[in-house]
């Protein structure tokens, strides 16, 4: 079972550091969770993740349900053993992936009937099924099944989404089982402050182990996203971790930490790495640029990751332009280390009461 401790919080600030204890190790918060959709963080091994100081990853319920199947993973000893990952795992509920299927799904009071994006076969996932799948995967933290409203959406549609999310959350608690997994509720409500409050208060009354802010980063601007997060945070308890789902630009993370958010996930560091965009202490670097053809410097002279310690920009550009598979691994290692260091720097700033002054460089390095 999850235990959460707040270590440092200044009286006039929401930003805080803490520690989450799970059956597969502890990790400090605020924390960034790399996305391992299909039981693998793309292009890197579990050993690479460990060397990048990753303590928890996210895996995807919907994708693992479809392939190889949650019962297969159960028979093989659970997801940790299946993928040889010794750290903590959080599994999402599958609600967001079902939401993204749009024309391939039908929502009812009981759950969602949908067609597989792989072969068109028909499936049903409701709150009980979402719990059964995540029990089979045996993640440390599991998520309640929710209905993520599209953006933009009218008040009436989102109001019904909040109603379904609350209904399904109650059923998830009733079917959570006794495996010791922590269960988080997901606050919905779109961009409507009144509906967000209704959703948050309903979930808090059910006493989840943690709370997530869902339905964000779906097309809204940053100002709206942060306004919603700030308003919701007021209704969530201080003794439970708060998770902002799918939000992962360095700038958004910094601002959300100031609002009291503890956990983040996003495909950004890994997807950008595979597209040749690398994060550095001086801004973003596009390794495809011809200016790096004979550049013997590391990606970032301030970074001590495996990639920066051993390889030059020139070599990394060559690998990328030649479409060598090693390019994806080395780039991903660096971006994950950048995010780990970012979170470490944020935690240190909070401990030194310097979060109000904390800034990152979001420049794009000159062409």
Percentage of the residues of the chain whose pLDDT score is greater than 70: 98
Which of residues 266, 287, 322 is at a domain's end?
266
The verdict on residue 126 lying in a domain is yes
Average pLDDT estimate for 86-104: 83
Q: Do 109 and 19 share a structural domain?
A: yes
Give the DSSP H/E element, type plus range, for residue 92.
none
The verdict on residue 20 lying in a domain is yes
Average pLDDT estimate for 40-66: 97
pLDDT of residue 176: 93
CA distance 117 to 105: 11
CA atoms within a 13 Å half-sphere pointing along the CA-CB vector of 239: 4
How many independent structural domains does the chain possess?
2
The alpha carbons of the chain give a radius of gyration, in whole angstroms, of 20
Average pLDDT estimate for 68-89: 98
Query: What is the pLDDT confidence band of residue 97, given thresholds at 50, 70 and 90?
Result: confident
pTM flag (> 0.75): yes
Top pLDDT among 88 and 10 is at: 88
The verdict on residue 365 lying in a domain is no
Q: Do 279 and 200 share a structural domain?
A: no
Top pLDDT among 104 and 182 is at: 182
Strand partners, 17: 8
Of 111-125, 229-243, 283-297, 309-323, least confident by mean pLDDT is 111-125
The CATH code of the domain that includes 197 is 3.20.20.105
Q: Do 205 and 348 share a structural domain?
A: no
pLDDT of residue 367: 43
Q: Do 287 and 262 share a structural domain?
A: no
Average pLDDT estimate for 130-155: 96
Q: Do 327 and 220 share a structural domain?
A: no
pLDDT in tens, 338-363: 999 999 999 999 999 999 999 988 77
CA distance 31 to 327: 26
Of 67-76, 199-208, 296-305, 350-359, least confident by mean pLDDT is 350-359
Average pLDDT estimate for 312-329: 98
Q: Do 182 and 74 share a structural domain?
A: yes
Residue in 209, 262, 265, 300 annotated catalytic: 265
Q: Is 252 in the active site?
A: no
The verdict on residue 248 lying in a domain is yes
pLDDT of residue 287: 98
Q: Do 181 and 288 share a structural domain?
A: no
pLDDT of residue 364: 76
Structure-token match 């009980």, residue found: 128
Mean pLDDT of the chain: 95
Q: Is 300 in the active site?
A: no
pLDDT in tens, 206-247: 999 999 999 999 999 999 999 999 999 999 999 999 999 999
DSSP track, 308-355: HHH--HHHHHHHHHTT-HHHHHHHHHHHHHHHHHHHHHHHHHHHTT-G
Percentage of the residues of the chain whose pLDDT score is greater than 90: 89
Assess whether pLDDT exceeds 90 at residue 103: no
Average pLDDT estimate for 290-295: 98
Q: In the chain, which residue ranges form alpha helices assigned H by DSSP?
A: 46-51, 61-66, 70-75, 79-83, 95-100, 127-137, 155-174, 193-205, 222-233, 250-258, 268-274, 306-310, 313-321, 325-351
Question: Domain range spanning residue 33?
Answer: 3-266
The verdict on residue 366 lying in a domain is no
The verdict on residue 261 lying in a domain is yes
CA distance 164 to 142: 18
Q: Do 218 and 292 share a structural domain?
A: no
Q: Do 330 and 230 share a structural domain?
A: no
The verdict on residue 362 lying in a domain is no
Q: Do 225 and 247 share a structural domain?
A: yes
- The size of the chain, in residues, is 367
Q: Do 309 and 201 share a structural domain?
A: no
CA distance 225 to 218: 10
Which of residues 223, 249, 266 is at a domain's end?
266
CB atoms within 10 A of CB 90: 24
Top pLDDT among 149 and 135 is at: 135
Average pLDDT estimate for 155-180: 96
The verdict on residue 86 lying in a domain is yes
Residue in 48, 92, 132, 252 annotated catalytic: 92
Assess whether pLDDT exceeds 90 at residue 71: yes
Which of residues 266, 291, 309 is at a domain's end?
266
């Amino acid at each position: 079972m999850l235990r959460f401790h707040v270590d440092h919080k200044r009286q006039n600030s929401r930003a805080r550091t803490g520690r989450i204890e799970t059956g597969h190790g502890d990790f400090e918060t605020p924390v960034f969770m790399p996305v391992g959709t299909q039981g693998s963080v793309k292009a890197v091994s579990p050993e690479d993740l460990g060397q990048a100081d990753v303590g928890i990853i996210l895996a995807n319920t919907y994708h693992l349900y479809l392939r190889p199947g949650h019962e297969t993973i159960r028979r093989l000893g659970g997801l940790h053993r299946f993928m040889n990952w010794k750290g903590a795992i959080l599994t999402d509920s599958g609600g967001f992936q079902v939401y993204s299927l749009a024309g391939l799904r039908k929502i009812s009071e009981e759950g969602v009937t949908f067609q597989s994006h792989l072969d068109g076969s028909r499936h049903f996932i409701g709150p009980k099924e979402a719990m059964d799948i995540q029990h089979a995967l045996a993640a440390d933290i599991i998520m309640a099944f929710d209905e993520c409203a599209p953006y933009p959406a009218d008040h009436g549609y989102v109001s019904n989404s909040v109603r379904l999310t609350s209904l399904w959350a109650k059923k998830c608690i009733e079917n959570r089982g006794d495996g010791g997994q922590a269960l988080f509720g997901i606050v919905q409500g779109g961009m409507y402050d009144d509906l967000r409050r209704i959703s948050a208060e309903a979930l808090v009354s059910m006493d989840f182990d943690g709370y997530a802010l869902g339905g964000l980063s779906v097309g809204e601007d940053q100002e709206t996203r942060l306004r919603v997060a700030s308003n919701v945070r007021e209704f969530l308890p201080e003794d439970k971790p708060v998770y902002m789902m799918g939000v992962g630009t360095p700038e958004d993370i910094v601002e959300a930490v100031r609002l009291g958010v503890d956990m983040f996930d996003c495909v950004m560091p890994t997807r950008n790495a595979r597209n040749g965009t690398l994060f550095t202490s001086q801004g973003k670097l596009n390794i495809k640029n011809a200016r790096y053809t004979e550049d013997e410097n590391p990606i970032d002279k301030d970074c001590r990751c495996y990639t920066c310690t051993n390889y030059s920009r020139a070599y990394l550009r060559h690998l990328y332009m030649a479409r060598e598979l090693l390019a994806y691994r080395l780039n991903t290692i660096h971006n994950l280390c950048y995010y780990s260091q970012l979170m470490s720097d944020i935690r240190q700033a909070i401990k030194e009461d310097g979060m109000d002054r904390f800034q990152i460089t979001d420049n794009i390095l000159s062409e």
